[in-house]
């Protein structure tokens, strides 16, 4: 079963990966408005990627044996996980005294990474997504899909957490977003659905749900508001991406290019943000000037480094190295065939 590629989804992926890069730069000296904005975006950034992963899996799934399917996902997800973990650990150990590290590591990280993303906590997404692909083939038909949803709902609302080891805790709370993506692909036409939605009411609804999420009690109600805010956030991002698709050729082209590199950006954005933070910390102007415009300039430079440098790295790798293309889970394109999606 395969559906026509929907460009608004690719554009939405690009928007969210930029927001992820921004969300991983919230320094201690951030103004309150920036902290609040980051928390608002956190309500749907990563849930959206799980939702889209589920949607794309379901929309493009093909009959394939379980072992072949898992091996393909292992190559796509876990090989990059281990490779990037090794790179980050090595960089942190070699430059720990010179870099501004949020999460320093020791040599024990070389074996801890097999069950916990100690090198870069953001890699939980890759590990947890692989766990989801381990179970989803058992629910890979329309008749079985409701059972996946019931399992995911139960895990989401259960009043205790699985252990952090092997990212089981993240798997527990995020499986539902993946399952919702599968259900959306099975039961809805995304273009028709979005056509019925209006931006301003969706924005107001999201704002209201976010406020309820922040102030809700007890825990079950808070989780319900969290789920609802994330779901409405998906619609909000897709409405924005649809508008960009139809109204701005330049923005559409740029974001589609970023989308094609989104996985590489995710894998390496914190590394290059870390390098840029270190460089800026050595420049007196950025460390002694307390002005909102200077803070915004710092954010722009750090986040840009986290997006642009991985994009350049992605293009170099897929054009020139089969080995490194394999290590970052991206098909090798070659010099003649490499081009933006």
Residue 215: CA count within 13 A, CB half-sphere: 6
334 torsion bin: left (phi>0), alpha (psi -120 to 50), beta (else): left
329 φψ region: left (φ > 0), alpha (ψ -120 to 50), beta (else): left
Question: CA 62, CA 78: separation in Å to the nearest integer?
Answer: 21
Tokens of 159: 């009043």
Note down pLDDT in tens along the chain; length 341 residues. 445 568 889 999 999 999 999 999 998 889 999 999 999 999 999 999 999 999 999 999 888 999 999 999 999 999 999 999 999 999 888 876 555 556 778 899 999 999 999 888 899 999 999 999 999 999 998 899 999 999 999 999 998 999 999 999 999 999 999 999 999 999 988 888 888 889 999 999 999 999 999 988 888 899 999 999 999 999 999 999 999 998 889 999 999 999 999 999 999 999 999 999 989 988 878 877 788 899 999 999 999 999 999 999 999 999 999 999 999 999 998 865 555 44
The per-residue pLDDT for 3 is: 53
pLDDT of residue 337: 55
* pLDDT at residue number 2: 45
Kindly list the domain boundaries of the chain, sorted by start residue.
7-337
What is the distance, to the nearest Å, from the Cα of residue 310 to the centroid of all Cα atoms in its chain? 15
Give the end-to-end CA distance of the chain in Å, rounded to a whole number: 21
Taking the mean position of all CA atoms in its chain, how far away is CA 136?
19
- Interhelix angle 45-60/124-135, rounded to 10 degrees, is 30
**CA 134 – CA 287 distance, rounded (Å):** 47
Return d(Cα 230, Cα 224) in angstroms, integer.
10
The residue among 53, 15, 18, 4 whose CA lies nearest residue 242 is 15
pLDDT at 195: 84
pTM (two decimals) = 0.91
- The interaxial angle of helices 79-95 and 262-281, nearest 10 deg, is 10
Structure tokens that stand for 272 in this block: 């290059």
């Amino acid at each position: 079963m395969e559906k026509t590629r929907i460009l608004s989804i690719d554009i939405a992926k690009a928007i969210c990966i930029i927001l992820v890069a921004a969300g991983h730069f919230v320094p201690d000296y951030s103004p309150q408005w920036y902290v609040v904005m980051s928390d608002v975006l956190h309500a749907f950034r990563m849930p959206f990627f799980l939702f889209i992963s589920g949607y794309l899996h379901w929309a493009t799934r093909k009959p394939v044996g379980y072992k072949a399917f898992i091996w393909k996902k292992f190559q796509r997800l876990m090989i990059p996980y281990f490779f990037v973990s090794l790179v980050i650990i090595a960089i942190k150990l070699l430059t720990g005294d010179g870099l501004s590290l949020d999460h320093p590591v020791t040599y024990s990280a070389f074996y801890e990474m097999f069950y916990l993303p100690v090198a870069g906590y953001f890699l939980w997404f890759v590990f947890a997504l692989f766990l989801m692909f381990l179970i989803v083939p058992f629910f890979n038909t329309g008749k079985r899909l409701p059972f996946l949803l019931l399992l995911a709902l139960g895990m989401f609302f259960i009043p205790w957490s699985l252990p952090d080891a092997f990212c089981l805790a993240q798997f527990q709370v995020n499986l539902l977003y993946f399952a919702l993506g599968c259900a959306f692909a099975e039961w809805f036409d995304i273009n028709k659905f979005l056509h019925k939605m209006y931006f301003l009411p969706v924005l107001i609804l999201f704002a209201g749900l976010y406020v309820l999420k922040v102030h809700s009690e007890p825990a079950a109600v808070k989780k319900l508001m969290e789920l609802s805010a994330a779901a409405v956030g998906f619609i909000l991002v897709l409405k924005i991406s649809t508008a960009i698709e139809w109204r701005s050729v330049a923005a559409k082209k740029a974001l589609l290019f970023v989308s094609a590199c989104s996985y590489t950006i995710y894998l390496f954005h914190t590394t290059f943000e870390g390098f840029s933070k270190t460089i800026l910390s050595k420049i007196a102007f950025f460390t002694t000037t307390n002005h909102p415009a200077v803070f915004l300039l710092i954010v722009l430079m750090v986040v840009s480094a986290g997006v642009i440098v991985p994009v350049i790295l992605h293009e170099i790798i897929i054009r020139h190295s089969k080995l490194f293309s394999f290590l970052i889970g991206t098909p090798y394109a070659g010099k003649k065939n490499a081009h933006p999606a």
